Amino acid sequence: MKIESGQVRKRPERFTGQEPSTILDLDLDPLVRAAGAVRYSLTAQRFADELLVCGVLEVEISSRCARCGESVSQTIQDGTFMRSYPLTAANESIDLTPDIREAILLALPMSFLCSAQCRGLCPDCGANLNKAPCKCGRPGKSAAWGALDQLKFK
Ligand SMILES: [Zn+2]
Ligand SMILES: [Zn+2]
């Protein structure tokens, strides 16, 4: 995404639109994919020798839950995007793409979860414990706590 600095005056100028998700270069990570375009709603304002750009970036990301492996889709948003670009000529084409990419990558969570309460997979039989308790007979957490409670009350 480029802004022609000559178009921007002291009055804040609004730029909204979208960029193809290929600007994010997510191909290297097999688990994280952009499920749509990168949307931006930015305001640019010109000061003496700099262009200040701030606003909101948003993209839909598909990934897999780190606990159970089910697919997850989540809107990643950077609501505090702000960059300043020094101006050296009356009109320059300022490319925001690398900064948009960086801001989105920084906003990505370390891992995706289908829900905060995801129970994940049984480490023994691999059953998805969100769907049903597994049948491999591994004593669950609740049983362990039950035994502990009995000890306390003896
Ligand atoms: Zn999950
Ligand atoms: Zn199991």
Q: Same domain, yes or no, for 114 and 135?
A: no
Span from the CA of 138 to the centroid of ligand 2 (angstroms): 6
Span from the CA of 137 to the centroid of ligand 2 (angstroms): 6
Q: Same domain, yes or no, for 136 and 109?
A: no
Q: 141 or 78: whose pLDDT is higher?
A: 78
Q: Same domain, yes or no, for 11 and 25?
A: yes
Q: 101 or 136: whose pLDDT is higher?
A: 101
Give the tens place of pLDDT for each residue, 63-97.
999 999 999 999 999 999 999 999 988 888 999 99
Domain that holds residue 24: 2-118
How many structural domains does the chain have?
2
Cβ-based neighbour number of residue 146 at 10 Å? 11
Q: Same domain, yes or no, for 139 and 153?
A: yes
Query: What is the distance, to the nearest Å, from the Cα of residue 48 to the centroid of all Cα atoms in its chain?
Result: 34
Q: Same domain, yes or no, for 28 and 104?
A: yes
Q: What is the mean pLDDT of residues 118-132?
A: 93
Give the tens place of pLDDT for each residue, 98-115.
999 999 999 999 899 999
Residue among 115, 101, 2, 116 at smallest CA distance from 59:
101
Span from the CA of 143 to the centroid of ligand 2 (angstroms): 14
Q: Same domain, yes or no, for 112 and 141?
A: no
CA torsion sign, 17 to 52 to 9 to 98? negative
Span from the CA of 90 to the centroid of ligand 1 (angstroms): 53
Q: Same domain, yes or no, for 18 and 76?
A: yes
Q: Same domain, yes or no, for 37 and 91?
A: yes
Residue among 64, 66, 44 at smallest CA distance from 55:
44
Q: Same domain, yes or no, for 108 and 88?
A: yes
Q: Same domain, yes or no, for 78 and 129?
A: no
